[in-house]
């Protein structure tokens, strides 16, 4: 996701939001619906740029890395 965000960063004057979920949406404990809501809100209110919304956090895409040991995204 961070590599995709880097590729999209060259698009000017757009608010682009990437999101995902640790558990597929078909499972009742999935965070997919919440993350999608965060993405919609960020797309509607965020200034132009590329963002990743996951786990209740909006990350500017150039300030996030995936912590593979913990299985989550964290600020860089």
In the chain, where the domains are located: 2-75
With beta carbons less than 8 A apart as the criterion, state whether 64 and 54 touch. Answer: no
With beta carbons less than 8 A apart as the criterion, state whether 6 and 61 touch. Answer: yes
SS (H, E, C) 20-73: CCCCCCCCCCCCHHHHHHHHHHHHHHCCCEEEEEECCEEEEHHHEEEECCCCEE
pLDDT attached to residue 23: 82
Q: Give tens-digit pLDDT for 19-67.
A: 998 788 898 888 899 999 999 999 999 999 999 999 889 999 999 998 8
pLDDT attached to residue 72: 85
Q: Which of 19, 23, 25 is nearest to 61 (CA)?
A: 19
pTM of the model: 0.88
């Amino acid at each position: 996701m961070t590599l995709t965000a880097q590729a999209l960063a060259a698009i000017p004057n757009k608010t682009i939001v990437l999101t995902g979920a640790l558990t597929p949406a078909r499972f009742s404990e999935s965070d997919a619906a919440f993350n999608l809501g965060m993405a919609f809100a960020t797309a509607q209110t965020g200034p132009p740029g590329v963002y990743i919304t996951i786990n209740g956090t909006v990350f500017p895409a150039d300030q996030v890395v995936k912590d593979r040991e913990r299985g989550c995204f964290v600020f860089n």
